[in-house]
Amino acid sequence: MSDVRSLVEQYIAVWNETDGDKRRALIADVFTEGAGYTDPLGAVSGHDGIDQFIAGAQARFGGLTFSLPADPDAHHDLARFQWYLGTPDAKPVAIGFDVVEIEDGKIAKVHGFLDKMPG
């Protein structure tokens, strides 16, 4: 479980990294080459697609950060976890739930669900 926890923490770090070069390096560490990401707001694949999607989210929600409110739940090559988006001193403005497929210690697919989004 500690390996999964570490991978999920790195995944959250990718979403919080605002420096493009550092974010792309983290993406290469966390995601398989052909990884896919899908949530209600879009679907992308590959490192470039994931990077562009995250950069767009950061532009929309500048100043907010992602956090993990609890440990991920995992079995086989799957993990699920809830995340919060907001500031440390306030209630989250967005809450989501992701399911990730893991291959060789990296994330191959993300299936994202949005429970709460800002209006």
Task: Report whether pLDDT(107) > 80.
Answer: yes
Contact 86, 64 (CB under 8 A): yes
Question: For the ranges 20-24, 47-51, 86-90, which has the lowest average pLDDT?
Answer: 86-90
Percent of the chain with pLDDT over 70: 97
pLDDT at 2: 66
pTM listed for this prediction: 0.94
Contact 87, 65 (CB under 8 A): yes
Q: What is the pLDDT of residues 16-39, one digit of tens each?
A: 999 999 999 999 999 999 999 999
Q: What is the CATH number of the domain that holds 83?
A: 3.10.450.50
Give Rg (Cα) of the chain: 13
Say how far residue 51 (Cα) sits from the centre of its chain.
Answer: 11
| For residues 2-14, average pLDDT | 95
Task: Report whether pLDDT(81) > 60.
Answer: yes
pLDDT at 88: 87
Residue 68: domain span: 2-116
Q: What is the pLDDT of residues 50-71, one digit of tens each?
A: 999 999 999 999 899 999 999 9
Instruction: Specify the DSSP element, H or E, that contains 83.
Output: strand 78-86
The β-bridge partners of 95 are 84, 116
Domain count, the chain: 1
Task: Report whether pLDDT(48) > 50.
Answer: yes
